Every structure is written in C-alpha cells, then in structure tokens.
Structure 1
Amino acid sequence: MGTLSIGTAPDSWGVWYADDPRQTPWTRFLDEVVAAGYTRIELGPYGYLPTDPVRLKDELDQRGLTITAGTTFEQLHRTDGWEGTWRDVAKTAELTAAMGVKHLVVMPSMWRGDNGEIVEDRLDHEGQARHGRQVTELGRRLAEEFGLQTQYHPHADGHVDTQDTVERFLEETDGDYVNLCLDTGHISYCRGDNLELIRKYPDRIGYVHLKQVDPKVLAEVEAEGLSVDEAVRRGVMCEPPNGVPELPPVLDALAALDGDLFAIVEQDMVPCPPDVPLPVAERTLAYLRSHGGGESR
C-alpha cells in the first residue's frame, strides 16, 4: 500500500497566469494555503511565485510549505516545436530543481482555442508516435540535466486528452522518462475512465491532480461546442463531492498502488472573486480527509 500526500495548487485560487491583476496576490495565496491546512503546493505558472530560489525558499519556510512539482506546457506535436518548448520548459525545470523537487508536470498544446474554434488538426497515429518520441526525449533531457521526472498531464482540448489518446500516449512513451499525471477532472471531462487507467497502467501513475466535473455543465458545453476555458468560466470544475468522478474509489485505487504519490487538489476557477477560494479549499481538504485522502502534512 502506498501513501497519498495531499497538496494544493495556485489554480485552486484562480491563478492561471504569471501576472494578472484580477488574480489573488501570491503572498495572500501562500497565507491562505496555510490557513486551509495544506503544507504542499505546486509552483503554478512560472513567474507567479518568486523565481529567485533563495527568496522562494525563504517565503515557503516561513510558512512551513514545500513544493511538489513545477508545471509547464510543451509544443512537441509540431515538427518545429523543440526549441520553443525547451526554452520554456528549461526555466521552469531550473527553478523546480533548485527547490529540491523531483517532479515536473508537462501539459500538451491545445487543438481548440478559447472561443471554441479548431486551431490545429488532431494528431493521427503517425503524429502521436512522433509526439511520443519527442516527449520521451524531453523527459530524458529533464532527467539528465535537472534530475526531474516528467509527469505528463492530459488536458481537455489538448493533443492528449481523451481516453484513447492518453492510452496511445502511454504506449508511445518510455516509462523510464515519462509517466502520467492523472488529472481526474480532465479525464472525466473528456469522458474517460480514471479507474480503468489506474487498473491498466499502475506503473505509469506517477502523480495526481484531484478535481471533479459537474455533469450538467459538461453536457451544456458539449452541446454548444465550447472550449474548456469557457467551460471553466461556467463552473464545470466543481467542488467535491458535487461532481464526477467519485473520488473515494479513485483514492482507494491510488492508495492500493505500490508507491507513494502526491495528489494535488486543483479547483480550476477563473475568474475567481478573492474571497471564494479559501472556504472551498478548507471544505475540500476536510472532505478528502474524511474519505481516506492521505496525509496533508
């Protein structure tokens, strides 16, 4: 039996960008994370938290917080995507490694834009295979140059999103360098099966994001052909236990794996009034604790 170590992330406070005046200031975010009862966080978008590792460590130490992972996007489905991807990924990886962290969560580029238009063709099997090789190479370099394990995060409206594209991605990548950040909300948003992924690929589950999807809102945005960004604005990612997947069975399945995992709560709220996140974070942590959701400290 493994251990699930619970944490939270900036986007549970409505933070999607490095700098946006509508967002919760980073000092308030850190203070409220502590007030909610968490001791672990992700870096969030590069530049939101201080990028000087000495200063960042001091701010975290003052509050008894640690970092679980950095987060970044890749463009490796494109034949010319390596240079831009490495430039963006490397700066996040450098800060992540400087904080003594072992995980980097990497997300795909989007095939659908914010207003719902199709901006890129979906990858065919040849494209998926090429993409898998490129992400494996990214994972190899991140391991060798920064000592980081790549945890790949499927993302709604991204080039790895649905159950079949996630499974194909896992078949096309090398588990020595790339594993899965299982985001329960994005998998459910794309009508996938979280428990089936855990069952079929137990050795590839390296990290977890916990969230739920409101089925009613999801049906509405599917019927209207809306983007995931618009769906989030409509509240598709809802507070547990009001959505899917049911989290207790997922928590049980994850705890049964032979290994320790970070399980990071992501509420995905944009835009977000400043007084909303803290009570939600408190209730969510209490809910997870009441259903065997691992250790928060």
Structure 2
Amino acid sequence: MGTVKIGSAPDSWGVWFADDPQQTPWERFLDEVAAAGYTRIELGPYGYLPTDPSRLKEELDKRGLTMTAGTIFEHLHRPDSWDSTWNDVSKAAELTAAMGAKHLVVIPSMWRDGVTGEITEPRLDREGQARHGRQVTELGRRIAEEFGLKTQYHPHADGHVDTHDTVETFLEDTDGAYVNLCLDTGHISYCGGDNLKLIQDHPDRIGYVHLKQVDPEILAVVEADGVGFGEAVRRGVMCEPPTGVPEFPPLLDALAGLDVDLFAIVEQDLYPCPPDVPLPIAERTLTYLRSHGGGVSI
C-alpha cells in the first residue's frame, strides 16, 4: 500500500490572489495552518507568501512546515502564449524548487468569467486540445529539465480541462513522462466527473491530489442559475468534509492502493471568507481525516 501524505494550502484560508485585502494575511495563514496540526503546505498564488527563498524558508522552518508544491496557471491554448506562460511558470518553479518541493501544480486558464458565467472564449475543438496537450508536455519537459520538478496538471471548473471527457482527452494528448494529473476531487465532482474511475483507469497518471468536496444541493442550484465558479464558491459549493461528495474514505483507500507515495492537499475554496472561519474548519477536517482516512500520513 502507498502512503497518502496530508497537507493544506492557502486556498483553505480564502486565498486566491497574490495580494487582496479580503484575504488572510500570509503570517496568519502560516501560524494557523501549523496550529491546526498540518506540517505540509503549498505555495499558493505566487507573491502571496514571501518570494525571497531565504526568508520563506526561515518562516516555514520556525513553524515546522515544509512545502509540497507550487501552483500556477497556464494559457498555452492561445497562439504565441509560450513566453508569457513561461515567465509566470519559471518564477513559481524556481521558488518551489528552492523550498525543496518536488511538484508544480499547473492549472488551465478559463473559458468563462468566474463571476458572471459569461463565456469569454470558445471551447477548444479536437485540434486545439491536441495542440494544447503538446504545449503542456513541452512545458512539463522544461520544468523537469530546468527545475527538477514534476508537473501535475489540475483540471479546473470553467477551465479548458474540466469535465471527465476533457481530462481523458488531456491525458491522451500528453506524455506521462513529463505531465501527470493533480486529481482535484472537488473540481472533478463539480464538473460531473468520477474520481474513482479516473484512479482506476489511469493509475499511472495520478501524481498528486487536492482533497475537496462539493455540496450537491448548492451545485444543482448554481448549475440551474448558470453562474460561474467564483460565484458558486461564494455560495458555498465547496463544503467542509464530510458533508459533500465525493466520499473521502473510499477515495483515500483507492489512492493508497496505487502503491505509490502521494501528497493529498486539503483545499476547500473559501474565497472570500471572514478571517475567523478557516482555522476551525481546518482543525475539524484534519480530525476527520485522521479518523476516516485509513492509511493517511499526517
């Protein structure tokens, strides 16, 4: 059996942007994630935590924290987008590697406005999907070559890789030697996908995990209203475990059954949220995972 190593992320403290007055200050996030009992975190949006490697390492060390991955968006489906994507990716990758992490979570750009739900770009046709897959494979190759990081691709609601079918197509169009999947359980469920089937069908492509649950009743309403993902989050579509889907115990059992060591990062979208909300949720979630997570490693 493999080991599923649990951590948390700035996202669970209401952090989506590098700088936003609605968000939890970074010092408070680090203090509280450690107080909740976690020892592993993600970088979050580049620029939220200190970008000087020496200072960031000092801040993590004094709280007993280590970093598992950086996170960054890409927009390689657009023509002539390589340079701008690489500029963003390379900064995040350099800092991630300096912290001793081994993964970079890469997220697709959006095809609809996150608040209004307005379609801002056409969905990719089959040729566009294949071209995008080739570009992301090349991105993963360069990330590995220049920074020693493994690229874990994160399907995202309202993104160009979102539904179960588009995830399957993306895996077909990319090379597992350079790109694998950050299985975000909430985004997969939000888009009607089947997390357990993805694990069963692509065991060798599951390289990293974000643990998240969706409230099916709120999801039904936001789908009927046609709102974007940002508004859905504000309505509470991403909920505290174990109140949503997918169920975590069978999911964690399936991940442990892959017989590899995985990071599974708790990531409950809470943007925006009152400052006193995240810590109690984080504590309860960790207690729940310790009780119902089988072979998880805290």
| TM-score between the two structures when normalised by the length of structure 1 | 0.99
Contact 2:7 2:266 in 1 (8 A): yes
What CA distance in whole angstroms lies between the structure 2 residues aligned with 1:269 and 1:100? 28
State how 1:6-155 maps to structure 2 within 5 Å: 6-114=6-114, 115-155=116-156
- Measured against aligned partners, the alpha-carbon deviations of 1:214-269 in whole angstroms (never above 9, x if no partner) come to 00110001001110110000000000011101111100000100210000000100
Kindly indicate whether residue 166 of structure 2 is the aligned counterpart of residue 165 of structure 1. Answer: yes
1:208 is the counterpart of 2:209? yes
CA distance in 2, matches of 1:162, 1:102: 27
Counterpart of 1:191 in structure 2 is 192
Q: Structure 2 CA distance, aligned partners of 1:213 and 1:67? A: 26
Is 1:261–2:265 an aligned residue pair? no
Post-superposition offset of 1:38: 0.2
Residues 183-218 of structure 1, C-alpha deviation per residue, up to 9 Å, x if partnerless?
Answer: 000000000000000000000000000000000110
CA distance in 1, matches of 2:65, 2:91: 22
The gaps in structure 2 that reach 5 residues or longer are: none
Q: CA RMSD in A?
A: 0.6
Unaligned runs of 5+ in 1: none
Q: How many residues align?
A: 296
1:156-180, CA deviations, whole angstroms, 9 ceiling, x for partnerless residues?
0000000000000000000000000
Q: Percent identity?
A: 80
- Measure how far apart 1:292 and its partner are: 2.3
After superposition, give the CA deviation of every residue in 1:244-297 in whole Å (9 maximum; x if it has no partner). Answer: 01111100000100210000000100111000000000000111111125111x
Structure 1 segments of 4 or more deviating over 2 A? none
Query: Separation in 2 of the partners of 1:225 and 1:90?
Result: 35
SS for the counterpart of 1:63 is coil
CA displacement 1:43-87 (0-9 Å, x = unmatched): 000011000000000000001000000000000111221111001
| Contact kept in structure 1, 2:248 and 2:293, CA below 8 Å | no
> CA separation in 2, counterparts of 1:266 and 1:286?
15
Question: Is 1:176 aligned with 2:177?
Answer: yes
- The residue matched to 2:152 in structure 1 has which SS? strand
TM-score, scaled to structure 2: 0.98
Q: Which amino acid is 1:33 matched to? A: V
